Structure 1
Amino acid sequence: MSSPQFTLYSHAGGPNGWTVAFLLKALGLTYETKFLAFDKNEQKGEDFLKLNPNGRIPTIVDHGNGDFTLSESKAILLYLAETYDKEGKFLVSDPKERALLNQSLFFQASGQGPYFGQAAHFKMFAPEKIPYGIERYAKEVQRVIGVLELILSKQEYLVGNKLTIADLSYITWNNFGLNALLPEGVDPKKEFPAVSAWHEKLLALPYVAEALAEKAAL
């Protein structure tokens, strides 16, 4: 049995590594996942810092391409799609639509991820409950989902009227946001019906469902 083409460095509970797993599975690329134990600070270990000086997951090593190593989940999605999505299934070809695809990826990286992450920290993991932090970031979660609602109330997918890596990039954080991070009393299906329907459709994709089943088993 041949060795997997990719090594994916990830974390069992963290959202961003699973986003990469979605696309690896969707493209039929073989990979081995090495889950780093954050409680043991493995992401800051000397060996991993040689791969990613930032000490964060995800990081991939493409053994089929000279052990090319890359970090940052959106950069990885772009690399995988541009290199291995020969049919352009998860990309768009029109230059303007490609700019919109990048815009959506950057909004995920600079908007959804950080705000949802801070909301999760203050609500679930902070050593003391700070009402200001909880309220501030819950409202930011609500605002970010509202931005997506404005887009998806007019079209089926984020870019190009087709499923792309932009859509895949939002799945894992939306699992937190829609289910646990909104302000108290906000019903996501009532306030964000388009986002809720889009999210459920993405969760039903076979490769997404497979990856999330693996995550739940861990």
Structure 2
Amino acid sequence: MSHGKQFTLYAHKGGPNPWKVAFLLNELGLSYESVYLDFQAGEHRAPAYTKVNPNGRVPAIIDHKNNDFTVWESGAILLYLVEKYDTEKKYFATSETDRFAILQWLFFQVSGQGPYFGQAAWFTYFHAEKIPSAIERYQKEIKRVLGVLESVLSKQEWLAAGKFTIADLSFVTWNNGITGVLESGFDFEKEFPATYKWHQRVCAVPGVKAGFELKKQLSGH
């Protein structure tokens, strides 16, 4: 089977995690076709997709120029792309110190920020029963994560390696939806000014900006 694009990216129009991958593919100038799964129809749990990702979640990629090599989990995909295709290490690093500085933030995002935001959204919008204590717990955790970011970004422009990397990129989609999961009246810029400015810098990166514009067209937000 021939493919016009190098990658197939399995995604969701509104879901935050696949867009991280799209942003990096944009920045690296790699061609890809996005397949947006219909979660309401259960496409993410169908055998056709669980052959690609047994966890039944998005994103996942297939690299057609590397023997249809498949990777799932957003953090793993970002690492695959920078290790294989970021030859100048523009979005990663070569020194051990910088590599692990980037990795620690990437792991913090995938294990901390993403799940806390996701649970806050679930209990706010989708859970059948309103559980204020659960909503409050995850909102507090989101603010704690923002506080960790603020403590570092108040002293430096980027999270690691003195430049924009996949560490910075990994946080941007969730933070972009912050007003939807925190209480009304939350003022991102006022409460976490350095993190807010950093978020704006990341949003201005061309590949990120283009991705967000497409996301808005597709999902309306």
Paired residues of 1:122 and 1:134 also in contact (CA < 8 A): yes
Alignment coverage as a number of residue pairs? 217
For 2:48, give the aligned amino acid: D
1:104-144 CA-partner distances (Å, limit 9, x unpaired): 01100110010010011111222222111111111111101
Paired residues of 1:151 and 1:158 also in contact (CA < 8 A): yes
Q: Which residue of 2 aligns with 1:13?
A: 14
**Structure 2, gaps ≥5 residues long:** none
CA distance in 1 between partners of 2:6 and 2:104 (Å): 30
CA distance in 2 between partners of 1:13 and 1:189 (Å): 24
CA apart distance, 1:187? 1.9
For 2:213, give the aligned amino acid: A
Paired residues of 1:7 and 1:34 also in contact (CA < 8 A): yes
CA distance in 1 between partners of 2:125 and 2:95 (Å): 42
CA distance in 2 between partners of 1:131 and 1:58 (Å): 30
Q: Which residue of 2 aligns with 1:74?
A: 75
CA apart distance, 1:100? 1.2
Paired residues of 1:16 and 1:58 also in contact (CA < 8 A): yes
4+ residue segments displaced more than 3 Å? 183-186
CA apart distance, 1:174? 0.5
CA distance in 1 between partners of 2:185 and 2:6 (Å): 46
If the length of structure 2 is used for normalisation, what is the TM-score? Answer: 0.95
Please state whether the residue corresponding to 1:65 is helix, strand or coil. Answer: coil
Q: Which moved more, 1:72-81 or 1:119-128?
A: 119-128
For 1:26, give the aligned amino acid: E
Q: Which residue of 1 aligns with 2:192?
A: 192
Q: Which residue of 2 aligns with 1:210?
A: 210
If the length of structure 1 is used for normalisation, what is the TM-score? Answer: 0.96
CA apart distance, 1:183? 3.9
Please state whether the residue corresponding to 1:86 is helix, strand or coil. Answer: coil
Q: Which residue of 1 aligns with 2:161?
A: 160
Paired residues of 1:11 and 1:36 also in contact (CA < 8 A): yes
CA distance in 2 between partners of 1:15 and 1:73 (Å): 10
Paired residues of 1:48 and 1:55 also in contact (CA < 8 A): yes
Q: Which residue of 2 aligns with 1:34?
A: 35
Identical-residue share of aligned pairs (%): 55
CA apart distance, 1:180? 2.3
CA apart distance, 1:44? 0.5
For 2:156, give the aligned amino acid: Q
CA apart distance, 1:24? 0.3
Paired residues of 1:9 and 1:59 also in contact (CA < 8 A): yes
Q: Which residue of 2 aligns with 1:59?
A: 60
CA distance in 1 between partners of 2:215 and 2:185 (Å): 28
RMSD: 1.3
For 1:200, give the aligned amino acid: Q
Q: Which residue of 2 aligns with 1:122?
A: 123
